[in-house]
Amino acid sequence: MRTIFTVDWKNPGRRILLASKSPRRSELLKLMGFSFETTAPDIDNEDSFLDKNDIVGSMQRLALAKTESASISNPDALVLGADTIVFHCGSILCKPRSENEARAMLKRLNGSRHEVYSAVALECKEEGFFESAIEKTLVYFRNIEENEIESYIRSGEYADKAGAYAIQGQAMIFVDKIDGCFYNVVGLPVVKTISLFKDYVTRKDQADV
């Protein structure tokens, strides 16, 4: 019998569905060795889920809402959902809606430390399985010149990025150091994601005994 030490988390025995259209999450999931499909979660006004006074709980609820929206029409699938935000001095920074908003976010983060949270959730409706987890990474920005911010804004890379930057892209030059999981900042905490799949496969094996 397999145990948690020998469990093959890459092959959970069900088709895997990523409830996200993020190319970054897809790329990371592929690098982790998964075969999967993608779908866009049907969630209106994602920001309304978030509560700055309950970052962990509200983000996990949002991630689970994403898996639930995809699980309804795919009850046989193992659905993975995720969401990432930047938290700085008591405020949540999501994806900027304009150049001016992106510029304001980068100026706010300039020369300071912020927190990046990613919540991940895994659900299989047929088996009544759902679990979620959250990861936090501390990111420190160096003192950035105004012309560097303007150059970054002109690149357009800020679009669709929490906090208006992509650490794996041109914004790498803004970062002095990080404390925690790098891939969490990209948008998918690798170890926490593996843990969710391990939980699913382990419970499935125990149920089959």
Q: How many CB atoms lie within 10 A of CB 100?
A: 10
16-208 adopts what CATH topology?
Answer: Maf protein (3.90.950)
- Span 149-192, pLDDT tens digits: 999 999 999 999 999 999 999 999 999 999 999 999 999 999 99
Strand blocks (E) in 89-190: 91-93, 113-124, 129-141, 175-179
- pTM attached to this predicted model: 0.91
- Span 84-133, pLDDT tens digits: 999 999 999 999 999 999 999 999 999 999 999 999 999 999 999 999 99
Tokens linked to 2: 């397999």
Domain ranges of the chain: 16-208
Show the 3-state SS of 13-52.
CCCEEEECCCHHHHHHHHHCCCCCEEECCCCCCHHHHCCC
Choosing from 42, 47, 83, 179, the catalytic residue is 83
Tokens linked to 91: 């405020």
Burial class (CB in 10 A: 0-12, 13-18, 19+), 23: exposed
199 is catalytic: no
